[in-house]
Amino acid sequence: RFSAVSLNVQGGGTAFDSGFDRTHRFTLTTLFTFPHEVDFSSITTAASGFLFLKQFTNTQEREFGKSPYTLQTDLRFTKGVKAGKRGRANVFLEVRNLFDRKNVLTWDGFDPASSRVWEEKKDPTGTLNRATRVDGTPIYDIARETYFGISFDF
């Protein structure tokens, strides 16, 4: 029975070892509409850390560790204006990961030494100190990103 849990948590080489197995995930979405076609929206997502099988700090028992929780807030301001008889243009400013948190998505399990670094020091980049796993999966979620643009509806 334990081996099935272990494969579910560790993934057995599938996408599940990318830290998608989270016990809790909460999302708060807000939308405020102001006069003069001004909108403000935000999405905040918090998730508990993913579980991983401890292999080095406790070799006698089957114990799971947990990664740090993740928290991300995205904001968007939009100003709408009329464009022609039926058209509409929206000018927007969007900021993703507003607080620039370093959210851990997975760890580099390239070799046992990398897994040991993750388990003992909570450094997900492993012995090679890289931002992605061998398969290209990012170890950290996005850093703060800012977008400015115009969308047209007609």
> What is the rounded average pLDDT for all residues in the chain?
85
pTM score: 0.78
pLDDT in tens, 45-104: 999 998 888 888 766 677 888 899 999 999 999 999 988 888 899 999 999 999 999 999
Q: How far apart are alpha carbons 3 and 53 in whole angstroms?
A: 11
Judge whether residue 144 has pLDDT over 70.
yes
Q: Phi and psi dihedrals of 95, rounded to 5?
A: -125, 120
Which spans in the chain are helix H?
2-10, 112-121
Which class for 31: exposed (0-12), middle (13-18), buried (19 or more C-beta within 10 A)?
Answer: exposed
Judge whether residue 1 has pLDDT over 70.
no
Nearest residue to 25 via CA among 66, 69, 65, 64:
69
